[in-house]
Amino acid sequence: MQNENNQASAPVAPRNMPEPINSPKQPLVTTKRVGLVVVGTLLFALGLFVGQGRISLTGQPQSTTSTVSSKIDYSQLDELYKTLQQNYDGTVSNQKILDGLKHGMAASSGDPYTEFMTAEEAKEFSGSLQGTISGIGAKLELDDDKNVIIAAPLVGSPAEAAGLRAKDIIVTIDGDSAYGLGVSEAVKKIRGEKGTKVKLSIVRNKSEQLEFTITRDTIKIPSVVTKTVGDGKIGYIQVSQFSGDTDELTEKAADSFKSDGITKIILDLRDNPGGEVTTAINLSSLWLDYGDKIVEQRRGKKVIDTRTATSLNTLKGLPTVVLLNAGSASASEITGLALRENGAAIIMGEKSYGKGVVQQLFPFSDGSSLKVTVAKWYSPKGTNVDKKGVTPDVEVKMTEEAYQGGTDPQLDAAVTYLQKQ
């Protein structure tokens, strides 16, 4: 690719990874760039589901003693601005400079989930939470080494159809290195008009390099899909994200299952990167008694919020299996643990993503927003899963043969288990 100085540069390998196959060796960029929306990741043009239980869009800002200094020597910024203005061989608008400062200020926290969004980015993020996205339909995150990774391909999306998987590391986008990009920058490079193509080079399982050419599309997918499986007495609820239509769709599904005599439930939260905390509370409440603890938020050792079940316990008492995998994060993990620790379900599948923090969105008058980590969340029994994930009661792996053959051993295992109950 060509940089601003018109010098050719080679793709950069993901940090702490083997060099990509047939890729020239090159020192890794060490600039610490962050951006994520949950587990949750922006969920916009690319299908970013940021948020991931991740985002508490309701409630007031929490009061706290900030560790951020109240005094900044702005003369240093002015000195940098003047030097750039006088010496840069090119044009940079004042708005771009301001946006860069804001992005950098949020990134300076060192928290991959705290992120500034311009008005355009915030608008797309808001749309993504309502289930409307354009792009390839994959949620992006940064891993601990600042590699851009696929957190989860959206169910029914071009990304899923192409074969992208959770934990895939994006090495290049249309031939340009993805290392050092924040999530917002990566999304901008991957998104585009419907019908156009984007080429991604990814590393899977830290060793296998794969190339994908994916046609972009406009995607509007309901967050909930339901059906009956097995002997016809097992209700299947797949929730792809916790968004604006999830409450209504899951409540309708629960009422329909009850009237149809369904006696067992599979709740599929695989590749669900999260979303709105309140939606996770309402979904969990379908299985729980009023007042049962679902999640607790803490800042340091101080409990700042405790969320409990509502009275919508339509599915209470029905044997239930929750399916999780590496793409299940934040709100998905909150729901799975709440049901397991209240004795309402068992968990099958694979270890989940591991996102145990909560973000809050602060909008500004110009349409921009700051998404900032405000607390950590804990399960009813005091478990925080950040960077650890939820270990299933019954581990069932998706093999390469299953992916290639279009079979689903995890769903099959859940059906077999419930038919014996």
Q: Is 341 one of the annotated active-site residues of the chain?
A: yes
Summarised one tens digit per residue, pLDDT across range 90-143 is 988 999 999 999 999 998 998 888 999 999 888 877 766 665 667 898 888 888
- Pairing, β 132-135 against β 138-142: unpaired
Q: Is 189 one of the annotated active-site residues of the chain?
A: no
Rg of the chain over all Cα atoms, to the nearest angstrom = 22
- Annotate 179-213 with b (16+ C-beta within 10 A) or e (fewer): bbbbbbbbbbbbbbeeeeebebbbbeeeeebbebe
Per-residue model confidence (pLDDT) at position 143: 84
Per-residue model confidence (pLDDT) at position 231: 87
Q: Which two tokens stand for residue 355?
A: 């996102």
Per-residue model confidence (pLDDT) at position 165: 93
Of 385, 401, 238, the residue nearest 323 (C-alpha): 238
pTM (whole model) above 0.75: no
Q: Could you say which of 316, 341, 351, 376 is catalytic? A: 341
Residues of the chain with pLDDT under 70: 1-70, 127-133, 221
Q: How many CB atoms lie within 10 A of CB 62?
A: 15
Per-residue model confidence (pLDDT) at position 67: 63
Q: Is 355 one of the annotated active-site residues of the chain?
A: yes
Per-residue model confidence (pLDDT) at position 139: 83
Per-residue model confidence (pLDDT) at position 195: 92
Query: For 242, which DSSP code?
Result: B
94-107 and 74-87 helices, crossing angle to 10°: 140
Query: Helix H segments across 150-288?
Result: 158-162, 183-190, 246-259, 277-285
Per DSSP, the residues of 259-303 read: HTT--EEEEE-TT---BBHHHHHHHHHTTS-TT-EEEEEEETTEE
Per-residue model confidence (pLDDT) at position 69: 64
The mean of the pLDDT values for the chain is: 82
Q: Could you say which of 146, 189, 264, 355 is catalytic? A: 355
Per-residue model confidence (pLDDT) at position 222: 75
Phi-psi region of 136 (alpha: psi -120 to 50; beta: other; left: phi over 0): alpha
Distance of CA 83 to the CA centre of its chain: 39
Per-residue model confidence (pLDDT) at position 218: 84
